[in-house]
């Protein structure tokens, strides 16, 4: 699919599938189009060309507010909390909207329990991220999209939050599409990864495959200042996955998609979301 703003494509030719029960990390430097991809999947930004299917249904013409009812939850980059309201009120609002299960959502983030009466605006960054995720979980999503969970958080906090995603996936069978700047941490928790650069998918595969090429990908695409540009933590971790040997082939255009097919037979229980480029305009 293609997506962008004011008629200019910022994501081009993206073909990506998230299956039930797996975590897919969407990686890439600033401005690559990661957020645009999630916004378009939610229906907050229109598809320019091609299509995105969530649980087999096209997002074209589906208003964004219907997404949660269809089992899609999206934790936005800005976390979208009601900062004047308490933690409990934030959770109750989300649960009411989706007729959801508050206790279950809270069970993944017990650290929020003593904070239920505190205004969301007073929480630490990590606590706010937990609240944003707990809000998303109240709707019992079958596909959870999390944008920059680590934004502004110390890597040690991120390291604590990411395994919760794995628990959610294991417990509920949901699929997760995780946008992350901390490449090394994301690759630890994800099953598959895709790398977007300037709107183009330049690599995708299992995390082992991507980790094996991380050195080459990072030096070529993430550059020295990738983390610093957003003011996020500079990622000291990214060097750790390089031992497997740098690959000179950066694979631009070569490794696209682990077989996300457009054809029949792919779907019934399979792909939760197809971000699927179709040839030609529609
Ligand atoms: N509302 C908008 N109007 C016009 N251009 C936009 C808009 N939002 C994003 N863009 C542009 O689209 C491109 C992709 O942006 P996007 O936010 O998807 O990147 P990203 O990969 O999420 O980056 P980051 O890691 O910095 O969050 C960028 O060039 C950005 O400037
Ligand atoms: Mg972004």
Is the domain of 19 the same as that of 52? Answer: yes
Rounded Cα gap, residues 60 and 224, in angstroms: 38
Q: Which ligand is nearest to the CA of 198?
A: 1
Tell me, what's the pLDDT at 43? 93
Asked if residue 281 is part of any domain, the answer here is no
**Is residue 166 over pLDDT 90?**
yes
Enclosing domain of residue 245: 2-71+141-276
Is the domain of 113 the same as that of 30? Answer: no
**Is residue 268 over pLDDT 80?**
no
Is the domain of 55 the same as that of 179? Answer: yes
Rg (CA), the chain: 18
Tell me, what's the pLDDT at 212? 87
Q: Which ligand is nearest to the CA of 26?
A: 1
CA-wise closest residue to 264 among 56, 62, 51: 56
In our burial notation (b when 16+ CB lie closer than 10 A, e otherwise), range 226-246 reads bbeebebbebebbeebbeeee
Rounded Cα gap, residues 60 and 52, in angstroms: 8
- Number of structural domains found in the chain: 2
Highest mean pLDDT among 95-109, 126-140, 214-228: 126-140
CATH number of the domain that residue 251 is part of:
3.40.50.300
Is the domain of 135 the same as that of 146? Answer: no
The binding-site residues of ligand 1, defined as CB within 6 angstroms of any ligand atom, are 5, 10, 28, 30-36, 230
């Amino acid at each position: 699919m293609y997506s962008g703003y004011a008629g200019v494509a910022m994501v081009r030719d993206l073909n990506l599938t998230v299956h039930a029960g797996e975590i897919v990390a969407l990686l890439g430097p600033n401005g690559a189009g990661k957020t645009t991809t999630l916004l378009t999947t939610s229906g907050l930004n229109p598809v320019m060309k091609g299509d995105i299917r969530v649980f087999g249904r096209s997002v074209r013409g589906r208003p964004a507010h219907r997404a949660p009812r269809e089992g899609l939850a999206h934790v936005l980059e800005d976390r979208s909390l009601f900062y004047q309201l308490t933690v409990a009120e934030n959770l109750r609002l989300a649960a009411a909207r989706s007729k959801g299960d508050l206790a279950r959502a809270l069970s993944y983030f017990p650290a929020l329990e003593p904070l239920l009466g505190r205004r969301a605006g007073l929480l630490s960054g990590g606590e706010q991220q937990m609240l944003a995720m707990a809000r998303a979980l109240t709707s019992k999503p079958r596909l959870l999209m999390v944008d920059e969970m680590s934004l502004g958080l110390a890597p040690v906090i991120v390291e604590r939050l990411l395994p919760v995603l794995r628990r959610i996936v294991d417990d509920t069978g949901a699929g997760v599409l995780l946008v992350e700047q901390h490449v090394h941490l994301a690759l630890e928790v994800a099953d598959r990864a895709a790398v977007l650069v300037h709107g183009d998918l330049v690599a995708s595969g299992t995390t082992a495959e991507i980790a094996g090429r991380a050195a080459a990908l990072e030096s070529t695409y993430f550059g020295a200042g990738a983390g610093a540009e957003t003011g996020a933590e500079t990622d000291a971790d990214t060097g750790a996955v390089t031992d497997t040997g740098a690959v000179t082939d950066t694979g631009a255009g070569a490794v696209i998609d682990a077989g996300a097919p457009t054809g029949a037979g792919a779907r019934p229980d399979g792909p939760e979301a197809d971000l699927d480029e179709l040839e030609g305009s529609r």
